[in-house]
Each structure stands twice: as C-alpha cells, then as structure tokens.
Structure 1
Amino acid sequence: MNDTDKASPFFDGTLLVASPGMVDPRFAGAVIFLCTHSDRGAMGLVINKPAAGVAFEDLAEQMDVEPAPSVPEIPVMIGGPVERSRGFVLHSPDYALDCNTLNVNDWCSMTGHFAVLRELMGGAGPEQAVLALGYSNWGPGQLESELRDSSWLMVDASPKLVFETAPDDVWEKCLSAIGIDPAMLHSVAGSA
C-alpha cells in the first residue's frame, strides 16, 4: 500500500463544531471551517459569529474603494481571536489570485489578500463569499488533542452550511447533521 491509498489524518475542509460543553467563551457555539491542517498545525475561520456593527459596504470607505451601485451583501464574521484586523474571504472557486488563494476543496477557496475585497466591492469577485476578520489557529498536535478531549465535533462541510445558512442557524444545523438534537441541550443542569 502506498501513501495515496491511506486516508489522510488531516481534516482540511471540515467543519469543527464547538461541543455543547465548550469551556472557552471565545468559541462557545462556534463553527469553524478548517482551511488548513497538517502536522505543523491548523488554521480555520469561524463562520457563524457576526462581527457586531460591521457591514461589508462600510468597509469600502475604510479601504478607500468606490463601491459598485449595489454592493453584494456579504456576511462579515469574527473569524477568530488571532489578528482581528486582518481579513480572509472564504469563497466559491470561481475566483483566484495567483499566489494568494488557497483551494481548500473543489467548492471552497480562501483568499487573504485585500484585492478580493476590492473586487467584491466593485461588483466582481467570487459568486459566493463570507468575510472573516481574524482567524483561529492551533499549533502542532493541539487540534488533535482538543478533538480527543471532545472540545470539538466534526461535521462534513457543504456549500449550503458555509455560504447559504444564516449564521444564527449554523451551529444547530451542524449538530443536527450528526444526530444531536439541539432542543435536548440545556445550559443549566437539573437535579433529581
């Protein structure tokens, strides 16, 4: 058996869903699209935590860009606690910048260059997109440890969950996808 016959131990393009018992308040209820995962660590973007008070069209002024007459409604998320002033765009593969776009899988790419934002504001760019401010990352072996500790659940990602589901519904839809009924979860334990 050669290496191509083995299943990859890495989870690029998977959704990490915060377990109902997540203790880190920055990630409680979070769903992260895992962009890269290797023996050197992992990087992903939270796709269901809107950046309060930040609208995509408001960024045009900050970037000194003349927006198109109808700027697309692109969700702006808090991608994670690292480098929150830096933007990343998860998008459909119909757009790419030569060396600045990572093709995660056959339906999703990530670009971390401001050119994609300029093009989106100008009415061009990818057909589907989500903007994330900041990112989430793990050092070597850290994500694997958190998975063993059941901090995260894994769900197959889909364009519907990443690009078409309202952010407030993503966590519950992910739990439902793996057979967990969100209605059965209680934040306060009872006593018998």
Structure 2
Amino acid sequence: MSALSLPLANHLLVALPTLAGSSFARSVALICRHDEGGTMGVVINQPSEYTLGEVLSQMDIHTDDAVLRARPVLSGGPVHPERGFVIHDDARPWDSSLEVGGGLYLTTSRDILEAMAHGQGPRNALVALGCAGWDGGQLEQELADNSWLTVPADAALLFELPLESRWQSAAARIGVDLFRLTGYSGNA
C-alpha cells in the first residue's frame, strides 16, 4: 500500500499555493471519511456569509445566547451548500453522526443544533454549510500533483485558532512555511 492510499480520515488537507486560482485557495479541510469510494471533508477556515443565529432562525430554533448567535458559520465546501455539518468533540449519540477519529465527530442532524441553542451542546463545535468531496482516486491524484499537504488533525487548531491563522498554522505543524512556496509545481 502506498503512502497516498493510507486512510486520511482525521487529517487536515492544507491547500498549497498551486491551488491559488481555485475555490480551495488557502483552504484547510478536515477529512471526515476516506476510502476506496472517495473522500469527504469540511473546510474549516473559510467563513460563509451567515452567522449561526441566522441559520438557527431559518430552522426555527431559538436561542438567547448572543455569543452563539454571532458565531460565524463556515463555508464547508461546494457540495451540498444548503446542508449543515457540525464538527465537534462530543461522543453523545446524536441522531446522525460519524466518528472522524481522535475524539472528533461530524454530525448532520438537527438535534445537535437544538442542544447548542439551549446551552447543552458540545464544548467545542464548528458549524459549516456544505462539504467537499472527491471521487475515488481523485484526492490521491491531487496529492500526487502537489496540490495539498496532509497534516494530522489537531483539536487546538480546529477550535482555538482564529480562522485566518489556520492555513499557515496547519502547515507549520509539519515544518512548512506556505509563504515561502511558489505557486507552481513540477516533477523532475
């Protein structure tokens, strides 16, 4: 098994400068599922135009928590942009959850948002609209083409760092300074 075919769930994909002209420019995505059939992830550093309060209101979920209402909702990727994805660290049995690994979970059911609105949700959570998806072998080809770095996921990076710091900080975890890289690649 080659290094590129190892499961990448619970890893971060860090966009290299070669993706500067794409919708993934300067993106960091948490890989939630990776197998022969393809890859699914959520971009964790690109804000959407919505706040969590606006999303909750559209779902008829009320909260008095002003801090929660003001939280930015992330633009998780171009696939299913109308669908909500919650990345969190709470192992409770939510209606629709996937264990990503390393104590991280992805939940797509309403119950987690209702719990958050009532102050009973996960201690740490990111809410995104949409996700990113790659067909079987597509991500492996993009990795071979030097479009992405892979970095083990890190809860501190996901839940503590400001959005604008995550791209460079994720790469720095493996010793890469993205500002010193060129926007092109090649093979010798």
Give the TM-score normalised by structure 1.
Answer: 0.85
Instruction: Compute the RMSD of aligned alpha carbons.
Output: 2.0
> Alpha carbons of 1:163 and 1:90: their partners in 2 closer, same or farther (altered >3 Å)?
same
Distance 1:24 1:12 in 2: 26
Q: What is the CA-CA distance between 1:179 and the residue it aligns to?
A: 1.7
Find the counterpart in structure 1 of residue 33 from structure 2. Answer: 36
Q: Which residue of 1 aligns with 2:128?
A: 132
* Aligned counterparts of 1:159 and 1:68: Cα–Cα separation in 2: 27
State yes or no: 1:141 paired with 2:137: yes
- The partner residue of 1:113 within 109, 119, 134 is 109
Instruction: Give, in angstroms, the shift of residue 69 of structure 1.
Output: 4.2
Consecutive unaligned residues of structure 2, counting only runs of 5 or more, are: 184-188
Higher strand share: 2
| Counterpart residue number, 1:17 | 14
Contact kept? 2:34, 2:40, Cα under 8 Å:
yes
Per-residue CA shift, 1:20-73, capped at 9, x if unaligned? 111552100000000000001010000000012x11122222111221445536
Moved more, 140-149 or 87-96: 87-96
- Aligned pairs for 1:23-102 within 5 A: 23-52=20-49, 54-70=50-66, 72=68, 74-98=71-95, 100-102=96-98
> What is the aligned residue count?
179
Contact 2:17 2:182 in 1 (8 A): no
Compute the displacement of 1:129 (Å): 0.2
Secondary structure of the corresponding residue to residue 104 of structure 1: strand
**Which letter does structure 1 place at the counterpart of 2:92?**
Y
Provide the C-alpha distance between the structure 2 equivalents of 1:41 and 1:139, rounded to a whole number of angstroms: 4
Counterpart contact for 2:17–2:178, Cα < 8 Å: no
Q: Which has the larger radius of gyration?
A: 1
Label 1:92 to 1:74 Cα distance change in 2 as closer, same or farther (>3 A): farther
* Alpha-carbon distance, 1:183 to partner: 4.1
